[in-house]
Structure 1
Amino acid sequence: MAGINKGKIEVIVHDGRSELLTMSLQIEFEQRRRALIVRLQGELDHHTADMVKTRMEEAIAKGDARNLVLSLRDLSFMDSSGLGVILGRYKQITGRGGKMIVCDVNPSIYRLFELSGLFKIVAIEDNERKAISSLEVAL
């Protein structure tokens, strides 16, 4: 799984009218045993969702990861496009017989999960350590 074991991708979106940065998102991938850990930092919204979706799809498809841990500890904002990205990766991972856990969800994003009902579908843990432990028990 060369190139995915550890790496960061930065998605920068410009408003098209100037060179001013309107928002930024960083994605960090780490392979740990049969789990892909993805850490998001910044804003996951309609500007960045397609790139995040593509990068995560590629990382899942290229690697031998059966499970996915998605850490939102450093995610400052998410809209419904982000929910779509998460639900899509959940379907991708479970379609391969794996399990997905979202962790480190801040209160405003958790509220979005509640309103959408996503927390009823996707497992949530308090932190990355608990998410990984939960997966190791499931293996």
Structure 2
Amino acid sequence: MKYQVQENCLTIFLPREVDHHHAEEIRKNADMVIEKNHIKYVIFDFERTEFMDSSGIGAIMGRYRLIRLVDGEVWAVHTSMRIKKILTLSGVTRIMQIYEEEQR
């Protein structure tokens, strides 16, 4: 898992496929970084992601529950139309903001 920490914000650069195997790695590593660095904001970067199953949704929901304990927020960036649809249908967009960059 690739990630970046800036102050109390963790950016997780998700892989091409967020399936059961990758979701478990995201859970373990993200939880460790969140606890170690007192993270309050988590940004999931979907730039490379083409596929996500229910395990990926579960990993996002779990990090959301953890971050809510410290009154933090969870965001998604670089979502394709396909990923946006998955997030919307699963209900994740009710708990997570999707940041959209302005088109030039």
Same fold (TM over 0.5): yes
Does residue 77 (structure 1) correspond to residue 51 (structure 2)? The answer is: yes
Deviations, residues 97-129 of structure 1 (Å, cap 9, x unaligned): 2111111111111111121111111111115xx
Aligned twin of 1:7: none
Larger radius of gyration: 1
Q: Give the alignment's Cα RMSD to 1 decimal.
A: 1.5
Q: Identical aligned pairs, as a percentage? A: 27
Superposed structure 1 runs of 4+ greater than 2 Å apart:
none
**Residue type matched to 1:64 in 2?**
H
- Does 2:79 correspond to 1:99? no
Which structure has the higher relative contact order (CA within 8 Å, separation 6+)?
2
Answer 1 or 2: which has greater helix percent.
Answer: 2
Alignment of 1:48-87 (within 5 A): 48-87=22-61
Q: How many residue pairs get matched? A: 102
1:33 deviation in Å?
A: 2.3
Relative to the length of structure 2, the TM-score reads 0.88
Per the alignment, residue 32 of structure 1 pairs with 6
User: How far 1:73 sits from its partner (Å)?
Assistant: 0.8
Q: Does 1:44 align with 2:12?
A: no
**1:85 CA drift (Å):** 0.3
With the length of structure 1 as denominator, give the TM-score of the two structures. 0.68
